[in-house]
Chains A and B, each alone.
Chain A
């Protein structure tokens, strides 16, 4: 039964996307007239500067950073295309668009930085793309350690602004330069400093969402509230299927007064994992902990002799100086007997952690690359690492399968896998790509892990979501979706609902 559900979803999503939705860019020039009414109506509502039905704009919003879609782009193929793009400048603008779309039953897809990697912001059924990047006001409440920020604000601008005023959010994903606050919340993102500061769900104190038929939900920022189910969590990670996040209140921290950098080399990944487990279970919260497997140690630290053929672990410990000193001592104690690599590897990682160039370098040569992040409790962590690597390698065409562990909890760990390969003869890029994903997802589910730690579901992972949530769990998600969005206009098809 489970297999059948999986096949159905697979067919629904991929077959549909590949054979029906793919539109040759050259062929859609002829379709433009059909959208005139929609354009005129939205121009009346928002003004001409906030609306476009130009083909070139529509193409630009045909996908997010889903890696396989990059290969389609190079072939001049778009996986979907919106009818129109709008750039609201206020919550009121968003309300107008949602009201209009609800009345006319037009699909809406919210768009932030477009850095999602699973096709979540892909206007599969056309309609309206709402790009929120013109909504970027920021206000700090220093006494309450809160920041109020509109959802289109780029992460790096928010963090720089907070730093300038003596604060930090502590949310530093690799996409910091290109992702937006709304994108973080709607995908339930996490940053590199999560072991101390948590994921975005730990930071959202209040939220404003526009839901069909065009109403505004405001959940105010309280230190804690016991007022029934926490509705904030209905929207965090909802990937645009319920409503459009327009504004959030985030918990912030005073800028750390001290930082300590430590790094070590061990012989195996299990040894490093075990030592980090003792650290996080003792209550210590280093901001950054990263364990690189042997391949990724070579990638990052090829220039360090002592790290050759080893597993490197790096730490950034930050905050109040007295606490930092005590935490550093506990980390040193836990890594006693391993090779101490000093501060340099950490500084090197800090300097280059935002360099994203593999796709630009290798995709044009026909290599297929992607990353898959999953999480699992400690008991099965090592097994999951080895089995997912093995499963990805066993797919014909795979040249590279590696991982690092980058987010740690007293209960378990997130593994961030990378694979790269060339589709074997007779197989399309997408065919190869889907096979690797299937291998990783099946292995994770088999071992009791969760299929996504922080990238979300989008369209790529949708086939496995019913298996993750179980029949009733998935049914509840579907029913909630349909209760909030009775006309099914909000990012239809995303998460498979």
Chain B
């Protein structure tokens, strides 16, 4: 509930009411304070004031999968309707991008408030078939996409954590990142049997699986003798840094996203001049979850001659690429439509897109865009002395 100053107009109105009404109103307010209406019902009763910012809400265009719509579904599942694959599906149609949180008067993340019901359903054995497949992959292989590609070990002082998307689709990006980081003086270590951070299990509500995977990943990382860990994927960084902490799972090393590491070493980097024009796509996980809403602009503005454009939705208000929250794993068709929507907006500014997330790169490339991860872009423009 609001603070007393904000409530004063209502309290004053109640004061003027008849004694019986006054008592009833006070009892209801106190009872409400004790019982606390759930976040789900508060969200379900909202007129969807964040929907214009929600990629699913805008592109899918359905009330059922809009932010407040999902909360309504969750409320009905809790109280009135039977949970079936059909009735539960809408609550999984979410990019977990937290755009809703930016506009919510209660600062709710719909993805977060839906988690308890997803967890309950999963525990009761009620889930979407695709969710089960992904969680089974994670349990069996510690990798989202099934059996992971083979990788080599490399010794060094700073661990480069590539993440599932890079392992599966962008092995070249991993090499580029190693090269860039070594150019700025870091000795990079990689491990062949890197384990998934577990985020898909977390966001789909497979709580026990997530905890098992997270503990195993943490155990592996904590056994390593490295100075810190650099993540290529901001969602992995968010998971290891923030979600593990919520579960009391500790990682003894500092966790950084690669953009943060580049920023730390920016004074060691010189760039070749360019007349390129680019547009920034801020990844949700970097701009909102990790709170680095300006970092890409800050880094790119160091490149002489580069013309930097921002799209209509950028920084903290960025629009998801569609592949966030595992949506592409659940509903690829919708995810790619969102990617196309975002690409259209980006292309109004420039033909070349710079981002800092392998999932965003994959989404926007799948939609037909020319996309560079900031790692690749810096690697391309860095002035080498050799």
Q: Which residues of A contact B (CB under 8 A)?
A: 25-26, 29, 49, 54-57, 59-61, 65, 70, 73-74, 76, 85, 87, 111, 113-115, 131, 133-134, 136, 152, 154-157, 160-161, 164, 175, 177-178, 295-296, 298-299, 302-303, 354-357, 359-367, 397, 399-400, 402, 420-422, 424
From B38-46, B213-221, B257-265, the one touching the partner chain is: B38-46
Q: Quick one: given A73-B72, A76-B76, A136-B58, are A365 and B37 in contact (CB under 8 Å)?
A: yes
Contact B61 A152 (CB under 8 A): yes
**CB-nearest residue of chain A relative to B317?**
A160
Contact A161 B312 (CB under 8 A): yes
Q: Quick one: given A298-B12, A354-B49, A422-B24, are A55 and B76 in contact (CB under 8 Å)?
A: no
Identify B87's interface contact among A55, A113, A302, CB under 8 A.
A55
Identify B49's interface contact among A25, A177, A421, CB under 8 A.
A177
Docked CA distance A397–B87 (Å): 38
Docked CA distance A134–B338 (Å): 12
Chain B nearest CB: distance from A125 CB in Å? 19
Contact A178 B17 (CB under 8 A): no
Docked CA distance A136–B103 (Å): 21
Task: Check if B377 is an interface residue, CB within 8 A of chain A.
Answer: no
Contact B41 A74 (CB under 8 A): yes
Task: Check if B52 is an interface residue, CB within 8 A of chain A.
Answer: yes
Contact B103 A360 (CB under 8 A): no
Docked CA distance A397–B25 (Å): 10
Q: Quick one: given A73-B72, A360-B43, A397-B21, are A113 and B9 in contact (CB under 8 Å)?
A: no
Task: Check if B101 is an interface residue, CB within 8 A of chain A.
Answer: no
**CB-nearest residue of chain A relative to B38?**
A364
The main secondary structure of chain A at its interface with chain B is mixed
Chain A nearest CB: distance from B128 CB in Å? 14
Across the interface, which residues of A come within 8 angstroms of B173, CB to CB?
Answer: none
Chain B nearest CB: distance from A348 CB in Å? 12
Contact A357 B103 (CB under 8 A): no
Chain A nearest CB: distance from B104 CB in Å? 9
The 4 closest A-B pairs by CB, nearest first: A133-B61, A364-B37, A76-B80, A400-B13
Contact B9 A298 (CB under 8 A): yes
Chain A nearest CB: distance from B1 CB in Å? 6
Contact A76 B79 (CB under 8 A): yes
Q: List 25 A-B contacts (CB under 8 A).
A: A55-B81, A56-B64, A60-B62, A76-B76, A76-B80, A87-B61, A114-B63, A133-B61, A134-B61, A155-B52, A178-B47, A178-B48, A298-B12, A357-B42, A360-B41, A360-B42, A360-B43, A361-B2, A361-B37, A364-B32, A365-B32, A399-B13, A399-B25, A422-B28, A424-B21
Across the interface, which residues of B come within 8 angstroms of A65, CB to CB?
Answer: 47
Chain B interface, number of residues (Cβ within 8 angstroms): 55
The main secondary structure of chain B at its interface with chain A is helix
Question: Residues 147-171 of chain B: 1 if any A CB is under 8 Å from the residue's CB, otherwise 0?
Answer: 0000000000000000000000000
Q: Quick one: given A56-B87, A59-B76, A422-B24, are A399 and B64 in contact (CB under 8 Å)?
A: no
Chain B nearest CB: distance from A94 CB in Å? 14
Contact B86 A54 (CB under 8 A): yes
Contact A302 B49 (CB under 8 A): no
Identify B62's interface contact among A57, A155, A177, A357, CB under 8 A.
A57
Across the interface, which residues of A come within 8 angstroms of B45, CB to CB?
Answer: 70, 73-74, 359-360, 363-364
Contact B25 A61 (CB under 8 A): no
Identify B14's interface contact among A178, A356, A399, CB under 8 A.
A399
**CB-nearest residue of chain B relative to A117?**
B47
Chain A nearest CB: distance from B126 CB in Å? 14
Identify B80's interface contact among A26, A85, A160, A420, CB under 8 A.
A26
Across the interface, which residues of A come within 8 angstroms of B62, CB to CB?
Answer: 57, 60, 85, 87, 131, 133
Question: Residues 1-24 of chain B: 1 if any A CB is under 8 Å from the residue's CB, otherwise 0?
Answer: 110011011101110010001001
Contact B81 A60 (CB under 8 A): no
Chain A nearest CB: distance from B8 CB in Å? 5
Q: Quick one: given A60-B64, A131-B61, A422-B21, are A177 and B6 in contact (CB under 8 Å)?
A: no
Task: Check if B31 is an interface residue, CB within 8 A of chain A.
Answer: yes
